[in-house]
Amino acid sequence: MAPTAKMILIVGLAFGLAACDGRVLETATDREAQGSEFDKELYVAYVELSEREYAEADYVDSDRFANRAITASGGELVRPELVSARAIPEDRKPILAASRERLAKALDDGGRDQAPREAARAQTNFDCWMQEQEENRQPDDIAFCQENFTTFIEVVEKTIAPPRAIDRVPPAAAVMSKAEARRFTVFFDFDSAALDDRATASLMSAAATIKGIAGARASVGGHTDTSGPAAYNAQLARIRADAVAKLLMDDGIDGAMLRVAAFGQTRPAVHTGDGVRNGWNRRVEIVVIEP
């Protein structure tokens, strides 16, 4: 090999080694995290992962996690690693792909806002699981990351899950002169007006109640959480209320007995502030009023 070519190769190798020598961790730890609570929690958790790999002399993965920490510290959205980003054994790809899909759904359905610490830990433990599964030589470490992922994702899912109608403690009914109010509440997935089986069963109970009271009337009020523009939420609330009213009429309720209204995000059941996904607020309330 010619001396010049040999020198270029040596320099190139040296540069490559320096690029993955764990030095990114020092840059990552010398930062003040910005952005949301989730971004800040994610930053801390990725730094911890980077430090763990650095202690094991795995400088490539230490740098990888440190770079993700740096991105999170700037308030940029950092998503869980794609399964295709690592050389995962074929027999482990299905469970990791399903777990990533589960995690992404929980994060996008409000996990980042409603459970920032647990959501961040779920994401970093998933990435940890991916990294250990790629190496595939330390079963205890693989199990540790997988079990931690499962623990945290379950907390996130429980936090963001819409409550069942029968679990809901109804707020005090508005004062209605000489009238008794009976209230039913159905809940919706994020950005959806679809009625699931549980909501349909609750509405059948509401319809039966209306039919059982001579001269009864009912108000149907649509609501959203505060995620998204207010104008869009007003439209979505109306679509939800109309869907409920239609189901009640399909079950034999006279449309003249229903007063349908949409409140958008203006009357939250849970006051969360603006821009927050919340299952309690994505609802339609049916109030049955005796004559």
- Report DSSP letters for 156-170, one per residue: HHHHHSPPPGGG--P
* pLDDT per position as a tens digit, 244-269: 999 999 999 999 999 999 999 999 98
What pLDDT band is residue 291 in, cutting at 50, 70 and 90? Answer: confident
pLDDT for the residue 215: 86
pLDDT for the residue 170: 42
Question: Is the per-residue pLDDT at 100 higher than 90?
Answer: yes
What pLDDT band is residue 179 in, cutting at 50, 70 and 90? Answer: very low
Count H helices, E strands: the chain? 10, 4
Beta-bridge partner residues of 264: 223
Report the mean per-residue pLDDT for the chain.
85
Location of structure tokens 């009238």: 179
What pLDDT band is residue 176 in, cutting at 50, 70 and 90? Answer: very low
Tell me the CA distances in angstroms from 97 to 131, 134, 251, one per residue in order. Answer: 14, 14, 42
What pLDDT band is residue 169 in, cutting at 50, 70 and 90? Answer: very low
pLDDT for the residue 160: 85
Q: Tell me the angle at which helices 116-135 and 93-106 cross, rounded to the nearest 10 degrees.
A: 170
Amino acid, single-letter form, for residue 172: A
Lowest mean pLDDT among 37-41, 164-168, 236-240: 164-168
pLDDT for the residue 269: 86
pLDDT for the residue 290: 80
Residue 167 vs residue 88, higher pLDDT: 88
Lowest mean pLDDT among 8-12, 38-42, 266-270, 272-276: 8-12
What pLDDT band is residue 4 in, cutting at 50, 70 and 90? Answer: very low
In order of their start, the domains of the chain are: 3-160 (no CATH), 165-289 (3.30.1330.60)
Question: Is the per-residue pLDDT at 157 higher than 70?
Answer: yes
Mean pLDDT (whole number) for 32-49: 93
Question: Is the per-residue pLDDT at 15 higher than 80?
Answer: no
The pairing of strands 217-223 and 181-187 is: unpaired
Mean pLDDT (whole number) for 212-241: 92
CA dist., res. 160 & res. 148, Å (int):
19
* pLDDT per position as a tens digit, 66-93: 999 999 999 999 999 999 999 999 999 9
pLDDT for the residue 284: 94
Pick from 62-71, 160-169, 180-189 the range whose average pLDDT is largest.
62-71
* pLDDT per position as a tens digit, 117-127: 999 999 999 99
Please report, rounded to a whole number, the percentage of residues in the chain having pLDDT higher than 90. 60
Please report, rounded to a whole number, the percentage of residues in the chain having pLDDT higher than 70. 86
Question: Is the per-residue pLDDT at 47 higher than 70?
Answer: yes
Residue whose C-alpha is closest to residue 271's, from 283, 281, 284: 281
Adjacency order of strands within the sheet including 258-264: 181-187, 283-289, 217-223, 258-264
Mean pLDDT (whole number) for 106-116: 92
